[in-house]
């Protein structure tokens, strides 16, 4: 039997390429993440919550600001959850549809969490990478500044910003994001110190690549694993912070609402037998936090070099 040497060589090259591809760190991490049942459960929860936030409003028969005068003052009797009157989650004490308000609260809370975490990740990553790469007195000055800022009570600064500059969505985003980058900067600095003396960084430095370009093109991309893990854990922290601020009445203002504001309203009406006003927003709040925590733990395990 005659063996076609060209076909054998092609098959051999293909097998080598498949083997190399299978040993790729990112492919291996992705495989471990997909096999993590808790992480996949958390990812499924987050996808469902995001879908609910995007298209949930299309199924509402009432707007979030519309008043149902037939249930005003009689919420405990007539404002209960029902498919017949169109109030799937019931109404609040003013006769507003709770389903529509939970949809809006989901949109606002997720937006605050994602935008606040994005600001913290960008600022903290660039700040920490710069401090770690430059080193010397610049590093000491930058990190002492971080230490001073971390000594100031986080919640006190956020409340002070909201009181001084107004309780608006933009100020809430800015206040949460600009305060929460401190931990990220310290984590990134520590990782940068372990990368700055690697061979590929030395090669880039030897060829005359500017420091800012090395940070953007070489340092930051190699930190994406750590940053991604911390970002998934940072989003629920941002949501918790916003919910606490809204619970105090300093967060989003009417007609907007959030999970924290809805939970605050529900807690205030529990004595009137309207438990659904608390349970529905609390349910979405809790499962979303668990979803982010499960995904964060899954990413941490998948990107752990010891598991490879």
What pLDDT, in 10s, does the model give residues 239-278?
Answer: 888 878 877 777 777 777 888 888 888 887 777 767 888 8
Query: What's the pLDDT band for 6 if we cut at 50, 70, 90?
Result: low
Lowest mean pLDDT among 61-75, 193-207, 265-279, 284-298: 61-75
Measure the CA dihedral 163/166/168/174, to 10°: -70
pLDDT tens digits, 190-243: 888 888 888 888 888 888 888 888 888 888 888 877 888 888 888 888 888 887
- φ, ψ for residue 3, nearest 5 deg: -100, 125
Alpha-carbon gap, residue 74 to 85, rounded angstroms: 14
The confidence score (pLDDT) of residue 14 equals 54
Q: Is pLDDT larger for residue 285 or for residue 3?
A: 285
The confidence score (pLDDT) of residue 46 equals 93
> Of 125, 114, 152, which Cα lies nearest the Cα of 242?
114
pLDDT averaged over every residue in the chain = 79
pLDDT for 78 beyond 90: no
Annotate 192-206 with b (16+ C-beta within 10 A) or e (fewer): beebbeeeebeebee
pLDDT tens digits, 79-115: 677 666 777 888 887 778 889 999 999 998 898 888 8
- Which residue, chain included where needed, has tokens 């990190």? 143
The confidence score (pLDDT) of residue 162 equals 79
Global confidence as pTM: 0.77
Report DSSP state, residue 249: T
User: Taking a C-beta distance cutoff of 8 angstroms, is the pair 125, 223 a contact?
Assistant: yes
pLDDT for 21 beyond 70: no
Whole-Å CA distances, 267 to 3, 214, 247, 256, 289: 79, 52, 10, 18, 19
Tokens of 54: 């995007």
Alpha-carbon gap, residue 34 to 222, rounded angstroms: 22
Alpha-carbon gap, residue 304 to 308, rounded angstroms: 7
Query: What's the pLDDT band for 16 if we cut at 50, 70, 90?
Result: very low
Alpha-carbon gap, residue 261 to 100, rounded angstroms: 14
Alpha-carbon gap, residue 97 to 76, rounded angstroms: 14
Tokens of 45: 């929860």
Region 160-176: what's the mean pLDDT?
75
Element (H, E) at 174: helix 169-179
């Amino acid at each position: 039997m005659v063996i076609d040497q060209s076909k054998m060589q092609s098959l051999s090259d293909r097998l080598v390429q498949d083997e190399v591809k299978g040993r790729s760190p990112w492919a291996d991490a992705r495989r471990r993440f997909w096999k993590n049942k808790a992480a996949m459960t958390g990812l499924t929860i987050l996808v469902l919550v995001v879908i609910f936030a995007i298209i949930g409003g299309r199924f509402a028969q009432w707007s979030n600001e519309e008043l149902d005068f037939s249930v005003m003052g009689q919420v405990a009797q007539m404002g209960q959850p029902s498919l017949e009157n169109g109030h799937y989650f019931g109404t609040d004490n003013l006769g507003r549809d709770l389903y529509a308000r939970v949809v809006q609260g989901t949109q606002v809370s997720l937006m605050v969490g994602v935008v606040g975490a994005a600001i913290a990740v960008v600022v903290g990553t660039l700040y920490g990478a710069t401090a770690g790469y430059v080193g010397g007195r610049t590093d000491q000055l930058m990190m002492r500044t971080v230490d001073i800022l971390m000594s100031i009570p986080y919640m006190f600064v956020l409340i002070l910003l909201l009181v001084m500059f107004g309780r608006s969505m933009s100020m809430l985003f800015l206040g949460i994001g600009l305060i929460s980058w401190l931990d990220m900067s310290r984590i990134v600095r520590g990782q940068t110190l372990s990368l700055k003396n690697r061979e590929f960084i030395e090669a880039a430095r030897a060829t005359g690549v500017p420091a800012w370009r090395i940070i953007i093109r070489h340092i930051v991309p190699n930190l994406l694993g750590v940053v991604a893990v911390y970002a998934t854990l940072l989003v629920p922290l941002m949501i918790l912070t916003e919910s606490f601020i809204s619970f105090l009445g300093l967060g989003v203002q009417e007609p907007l609402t959030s999970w924290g504001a809805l939970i605050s309203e529900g807690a205030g009406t529990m004595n009137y037998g309207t438990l659904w006003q608390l349970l529905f927003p609390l349910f979405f709040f809790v499962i979303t936090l668990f979803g982010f925590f499960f995904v964060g733990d899954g990413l941490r395990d998948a990107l752990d070099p010891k598991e490879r």
